[in-house]
């Protein structure tokens, strides 16, 4: 029997911990006093954070590097991006990663709870690295190559579904905001590093865009298999096959309808009124309703609906969804703005704009890099509600400032507004994510984290669809007349000018976003050859198209940013309703009988202690 040793220190009595001669802590006392922290455990949390911080940039880098290198990828796959039949593949290159990860991330998070989060996470490294390697082989071209890009999304979903849960398992509650903030900023930096790398590597070879991920993936795979430990308590239960199928089917149908809704239909600039889109939406909603009914009745549901009875989780996830709706389409709109209008107007050739668009968007990522760890740390001390709510209000202000900027605004002003948006989004993201993860019972962190990530990814897809739709509608109102009158004024025959003017506005957007000179593409060489030298040089130069499209683009831009402001304000209201600082109180405590660990509580066990909405 060990006798306690009590000393007076720091203005209070403190019980010293007994240690065995070899330095191993003695078993905790029956009064529940926990043993001192194991130094190996303290080191492990940094191992877990560093490995997860290596995996997340791979997942986020894929989306951005593919976006900025799209012209080279389409040429390499022998796909003409402006042929109407290929616009579907263009949209799926942009949205495919988000669609796949949204569909799979909850299921993979649930599988992590059942079979081990580290095991599923490691599998993600293998799938992602193998997919990147396959995309570099010479025979993979055409539609097979475009489709194979989605395989990377499967590996990324494994990483995203379990990384936050692995970090949460490794860190104490009062350090999770800082840890998740570091993980978040590296993930965001991967997105914007991809913008620069895509611009640098694509002119050399489009396959380098995917090859660069292979060595990083190999290192991460070996490191994860050797060093990561399973700190969760997997609970083997039956798989909810009916729920998985109806959920995946519903999300896929809705997200496919978004890709068709953006495309023109007959005489309409968008396809939201087409029978195909209406049918896809109806079937998708029906499938999700069936999913909700199934989840209320099965013994081991994929979607842990009782978690929504935890107030901090419910309103944290709702604000996650709304913030992603506000910002999801921002990067795409900014890239189109820079590629198609701002950079050409400031002296950059269309062939150079992809690289410089990535560089000029760096203030956005620098703002996030500064804000996420800072406010993650502060939220550990003071709670998430004030910071997350303030971040959404700041984001709304930044969108309002963007609407006030002229299309050819001086870059320093543009950069300051981008930095404000990045700081505001970072101020929201880390505190909100830490609050959501802290509210979850330990046994449901994989599923709950996956649910939160699914809402975020799904919202980003919807946001891109909404932003594109608003941009297209804004362009459609004035673009045809502007194009026709501008071309005819410079010698283009009326028939050709009218033909170009009635091309779908989305084609004009894609041409600008892919770094093409749209006038050279839409007006045939035979027509251009009959123009005067002055008109030929003017039409094919870098200034004519950006100046022509600026007024219609500004109309669409204002509509998209007005939507983003509304989403940010609603997200701020949802964040304010999350309640005060809350950590789940059902985590198992250490006991003297370490060989009989306490059972890991689940969502249903935690409801009694969770704040109610």
pLDDT tens per residue, range 81-96: 566 666 666 666 777 7
Q: What band does 300 get if pLDDT is binned at 50, 70 and 90? A: confident
Count CB atoms within 10 A of the CB of residue 36: 11
> What is the enclosing helix (H) or strand (E) of 7?
strand 5-9
- Token pair for 208: 């380098």
Q: DSSP character for 25?
A: B
320 neighbors 436 (Cβ within 8 angstroms): yes
Q: What band does 278 get if pLDDT is binned at 50, 70 and 90? A: very high
Q: What are the tens digits of pLDDT across the range 502-530?
A: 777 777 777 666 656 667 777 888 888 88
* Segment among 189-198, 216-225, 279-288, 404-413 with least mean pLDDT: 189-198
pLDDT of amino acid 569: 95
Kindly state the average pLDDT of the residues 304-325. Answer: 88
Instruction: Select, from the ranges 73-82, 144-153, 390-399, 454-463, the one with the highest average predicted confidence (pLDDT).
Output: 390-399
Kindly state the average pLDDT of the residues 45-63. Answer: 82
Radius of gyration of the chain (CA): 26
The answer to whether residue 361 scores a pLDDT higher than 80 is: yes
The answer to whether residue 256 scores a pLDDT higher than 60 is: yes
Kindly state the average pLDDT of the residues 247-274. Answer: 82
Pairing of strands 5-9, 12-16: antiparallel
22 neighbors 28 (Cβ within 8 angstroms): no
Q: Which of 375, 425, 364, 385 lies closest to 564 in space, CA to CA?
A: 425
pLDDT of amino acid 141: 55
- Token pair for 56: 């997340």
Kindly state the average pLDDT of the residues 453-476. Answer: 82
The answer to whether residue 205 scores a pLDDT higher than 50 is: yes
Q: What are the tens digits of pLDDT across the range 6-41?
A: 444 444 444 444 343 333 343 343 333 333 444 445
Average confidence score pLDDT of the chain: 77
Q: What band does 318 get if pLDDT is binned at 50, 70 and 90? A: very high
Q: Across-strand partners of 12?
A: 9
pLDDT of amino acid 130: 87
pLDDT of amino acid 113: 81
Q: Which of 38, 234, 219, 214 lies closest to 118 in space, CA to CA?
A: 234
- Token pair for 82: 């402006």
- Token pair for 379: 């939220």
pLDDT of amino acid 1: 43
Count CB atoms within 10 A of the CB of residue 595: 6
Query: In Å, what is the CA distance from 415 to each residue of 137, 286, 332, 366?
Result: 39, 44, 16, 10
pLDDT of amino acid 145: 57
Rounded to an integer, what is the distance from CA 190 to the centroid of its chain?
11
Q: What is the pTM of this model?
A: 0.74
Q: What are the tens digits of pLDDT across the range 417-431?
A: 999 999 999 899 888
Cα angle, residue 210 at apex, residues 117 and 201 outer, rounded to 5°: 135
E strand spans, 381-533: none
- Token pair for 576: 């304010």
- Token pair for 318: 């709702």
């Amino acid at each position: 029997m060990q006798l306690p040793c009590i000393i007076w220190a720091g203005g209070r009595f403190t019980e010293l911990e007994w240690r065995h001669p070899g330095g191993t802590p003695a078993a905790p006392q029956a009064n529940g006093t926990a043993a001192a922290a194991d130094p190996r455990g303290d080191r492990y949390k940094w191992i877990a954070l560093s490995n997860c911080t290596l995996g997340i940039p791979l997942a986020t880098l894929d989306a951005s590097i593919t976006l900025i290198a799209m012209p080279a990828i389409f040429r390499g796959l022998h796909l003409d991006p402006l042929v109407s039949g290929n616009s579907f593949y263009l949209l799926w290159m942009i949205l495919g990663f988000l669609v796949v990860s949204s569909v799979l991330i909850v299921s993979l998070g649930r599988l992590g709870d059942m079979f081990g989060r580290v095991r599923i996470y490691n599998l993600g490294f293998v799938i992602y690295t193998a997919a990147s390697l396959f995309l570099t082989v010479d025979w993979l071209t055409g539609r097979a190559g475009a489709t194979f890009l989605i395989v990377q999304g499967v590996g990324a979903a494994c990483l995203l579904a379990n990384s936050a849960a692995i970090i949460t398992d490794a860190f104490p509650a009062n350090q999770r905001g800082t840890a998740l903030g570091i993980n978040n900023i590296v993930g965001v930096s991967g997105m914007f590093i991809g913008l620069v790398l895509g611009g640098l590597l694509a002119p050399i070879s489009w396959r380098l865009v995917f090859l660069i991920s292979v060595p990083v993936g190999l290192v991460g795979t070996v490191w994860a298999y050797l060093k990561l430990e399973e700190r969760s308590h997997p609970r083997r239960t039956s798989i909810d096959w009916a729920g998985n199928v109806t959920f995946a089917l519903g999300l896929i149908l809705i997200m496919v309808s978004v890709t068709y809704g953006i495309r023109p239909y007959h005489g309409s600039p968008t396809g939201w009124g087409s029978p195909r889109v209406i049918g896809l939406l109806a079937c998708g909603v029906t499938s999700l309703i069936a999913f909700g009914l199934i989840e209320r009745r099965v013994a081991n549901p994929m979607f842990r609906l009782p978690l929504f009875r935890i107030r901090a989780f419910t309103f944290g996830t709702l604000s996650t969804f709304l913030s992603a709706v506000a910002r999801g389409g921002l990067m795409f709109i900014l890239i189109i703005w820079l590629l198609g209008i701002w950079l050409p107007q400031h002296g950059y050739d269309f062939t150079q704009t992809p690289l410089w668009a990535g560089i000029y968007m760096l203030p956005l990522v620098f703002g996030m890099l500064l804000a996420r760890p800072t406010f993650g740390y502060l939220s550990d001390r003071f709670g998430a509600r004030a910071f997350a709510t303030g971040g959404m209000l700041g984001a709304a202000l930044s969108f309002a400032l963007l609407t006030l900027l002229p299309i050819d605004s001086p870059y320093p002003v543009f950069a300051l507004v981008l930095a404000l948006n990045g700081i505001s989004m970072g101020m929201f993201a880390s505190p909100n994510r830490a609050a959501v993860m802290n509210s979850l019972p330990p046994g449901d962190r994989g599923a709950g984290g996956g649910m939160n990530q699914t809402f975020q990814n799904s919202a980003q897809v919807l946001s891109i669809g909404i932003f594109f739709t608003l941009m297209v509608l804004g362009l459609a109102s004035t673009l045809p007349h502007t194009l026709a009158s501008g071309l005819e004024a410079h010698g283009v025959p009326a028939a050709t000018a009218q033909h170009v003017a009635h091309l779908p506005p989305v084609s004009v957007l894609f041409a600008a976003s892919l770094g093409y000179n749209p006038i050279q593409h839409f007006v045939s060489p035979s027509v251009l050859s009959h123009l005067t030298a002055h008109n030929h040089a003017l039409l094919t130069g870098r200034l004519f198209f950006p100046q022509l499209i600026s007024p219609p683009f500004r109309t669409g831009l204002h509509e998209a940013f007005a939507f983003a402001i509304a989403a940010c304000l609603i997200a701020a209201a949802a964040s304010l309703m999350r309640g005060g600082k809350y950590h789940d109180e059902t985590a198992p405590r250490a006991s003297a009988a370490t060989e009989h660990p306490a059972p890991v509580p689940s969502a249903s066990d935690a409801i009694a202690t969770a704040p109610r909405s």
